[in-house]
Amino acid sequence: MQGKILGGRYEILDKLGTGGMAVVYKARCTWLDRVVTIKLLRDELVNDEEFVRRFRREAQAVARLSHPNIVSVYDVGQEDGVHYIVMEYIEGSTLKELIREEGRLSPEKSLEIALQICAGLEHAHENHIIHRDIKPQNILITNKGRVKVTDFGIALATTGATLTHPGKIMGSVHYLSPEQARGDMVGMASDLYSAGAVLYEMLTGKVPFEGESPISIALKHLQEPIIPPRQIAPSIPEPVEKVVLKSLNKNPAARFKSAKEMAAALKAAARDELPADFIVSDGDSGEDPNWTDGTRAFDKIDEKRLRGKKKRRIRTSFIVAAGLVGVLVAVGLYMLGVRLLVVPEVTVPSVQGKLVNEALTDLQAVGLKGAVASQQYSAEVGKDRVISQSKEANSLAKQGSTVELTVSLGSQMGSIPNVKGKKLPEASIIITNAGYKVGTIEPVITNQVPIDEVISQMPVGDSQAPLGSAVNLIVSGGTGQNEVMTKVVGMKLDLAKGEVARLGAVLGSVAEKESGEYFLGQVMEQDPPQGTMMAQGAIVNLVVSKGPGPIPKNASVVVKVPPTPAKVHEVVIIVDDRKDRREEYRGSHPSGDTINQTVRYYGPARIQVYIDGQEVWSTNK
């Protein structure tokens, strides 16, 4: 996939990882020149039309969310059977990686992360979006410490796809709410239960429930009381424990009513200011509010209520057992169908760079079919060798499926243009338009040929050479008269090129670098620097900004017009900054008037005030 362009704008750069439903890539948006994350749906999900329909609808809804604690979804698309979602690229790690690294987090750090999770959920819930799969793997921590909740759209689509994937529990069972385990309606309270489970793991270093299988863990979410966090880590403040236990109440109605309410309780717990009437359990949640040391205070429950509870528990156990039997039967039938009907998968070998016949043999050896889908010229890959393969090496593919190959026709030959006698800029354009690139440029001091004119080239003009190869030039450097290098930093590249040519120098390399100080296309570095004495034909190398450029700032300008016999004075405010030198304000004011203007500037700036053509005030920013 590396180098592939999706949607005419997203260039795949690197593979970041593989998940249960998608392969994740780092990519660059060529339109906006920014790095993004792209998730490509796996083949088995792409073939599920209902899943794809739901995925696109829900992902487009999530794309409307905009919050600093939610990973932004930029675009959803499909091309040649590949369905993808384009998201904000985050430099950092997952919360799961952080917990694995530190074991368990301090209460202060845990609360800080939990508050940001609640903030993201509050925004999503206000827009009628339920996540359904909150887990540490879906919580990203940027290098600056900001929390970002991700995978909203995929989590939503996953829930709808459960029926089309029998035998699988979609989502992470360790953080699953009881109502999700039962298959009931899922709402905001389900996300808050999962957020409570994540907070539990941050504080204790352990998930709320563990078991030998996903089904056994799901049953524990339904039936078993949770071990209070302070029994695992006594240093956890008691108010914080109360908030965790309330969020993990098995009764959705007894949990927090919203993410905003949960965040308020977390803040109060951090200050040890939980209200005295704060209720952890309503007694009907499946969890006893009188839990103290791992046993239940049965002496506080009258005998009649105890008998009622036992009956309810027997009924609940019977229903759960019947459901478990049904699930096991369904899983058994599903696995039998898999054995009878599902085609086995094989690992795709890497055939890139191999001769086409050798590649076809390697594919056949593992039970795959090879087919030459296209042929194209290539200066990097030899004739009859594989340039790319449709299925990625080391990925899994159905036995008997076809791997399409793109095969090289070798280098396409062309005729080198004759640029002898041309000025260097014109010669460079001619060479590039002919399908070649300009190689080395060697200046020679001479009185015989005008400066910047091509003296000779290699290969010579009208000879045959592979397209894409380099043409080296020897150009006139002039008479050797010394010039002082002027400042071109801050100029647009075209103006800087003109200044280099005016000085009798030759433009060398032009590199690009991201900059928050200079605008896109502005020269940010020059070699040699300003003030350097240089001979005619000297090489000048430049570095040009790729943006995004300086952030605009505002400055307040307050100036009093002096009292003079003249009744009206012309006032002009000039700003000289990274952008340019420009007039930000011009107006007429009476004598004695006070001017109070706000002007905008970019990067280091000099602000000057002129009254009737005379500078009366200035400042550097």
Are 470 and 439 a contacting pair, CB within 8 Å?
yes
Establish how many alpha carbons lie within 13 A of residue 566's alpha carbon, considering only the half-sphere containing its beta carbon.
9
- Tell me how far apart the alpha carbons of residues 402 and 425 are, in angstroms, rounded to a whole number: 49
pLDDT (0 to 100) of residue 308: 53
pLDDT (0 to 100) of residue 298: 29
Reply yes or no on whether 577 is catalytic.
Answer: no
pLDDT (0 to 100) of residue 513: 94
Give the residue ranges of DSSP H helices in 463-515.
493-502
Are 73 and 81 a contacting pair, CB within 8 Å?
no
Amino acid, res. 620:
N
Q: Is the dihedral of CA 228, 230, 236, 239 positive or negative?
A: positive
Q: Which pTM was predicted? A: 0.47
pLDDT (0 to 100) of residue 2: 79
- Residue 301, judged by CB atoms within 10 A of its CB (0-12, 13-18, 19+), counts as middle
pLDDT (0 to 100) of residue 562: 87
Look at phi and psi of residue 601 and say left if phi exceeds 0, alpha if psi is from -120 to 50, else beta: beta
* 483-507 pLDDT tens trace: 889 999 999 999 999 999 888 888 9
Phi and psi, residue 378, nearest 5°? -150, 130
Token reading at 454: 């091509």
- Tell me how far apart the alpha carbons of residues 535 and 251 are, in angstroms, rounded to a whole number: 83
Q: Is the peptide bond before 459 cis (omega within 30 degrees of 0)?
A: yes
Of 257, 241, 256, nearest to 289 (Cα)?
A: 241
Are 197 and 245 a contacting pair, CB within 8 Å?
no
- Choice among 133, 151, 191, 577 that is catalytic: 133
Query: CA of 612: how far to CAs of 557, 561, 564, 586, in Å?
Result: 17, 10, 12, 11
The stretches in the chain having pLDDT less than 70 are 19-20, 50, 54-55, 57-58, 60-61, 153-171, 282-343, 479-481
Those residues whose C-beta lies under 8 Å from the C-beta of residue 591, and which sit 6 or more positions away, are: 561, 562, 563, 564, 566, 567, 568, 569
End-to-end CA distance of the chain: 47
Amino acid, res. 74:
Y
Give ∠ CA 363-366-369 in degrees, rounded to 5.
Answer: 40
Of 482, 483, 478, 481, nearest to 443 (Cα)?
A: 478
DSSP run (H or E) holding 244: helix 238-247
Are 489 and 526 a contacting pair, CB within 8 Å?
yes
Q: Is the dihedral of CA 121, 125, 129, 135 positive or negative?
A: positive
Q: Is the dihedral of CA 498, 500, 505, 508 positive or negative?
A: negative
Of 16, 67, 9, 63, nearest to 39 (Cα)?
A: 16
* 11-59 pLDDT tens trace: 999 998 876 677 899 999 988 888 999 988 877 777 777 677 766 766 7
Token reading at 236: 């956890």
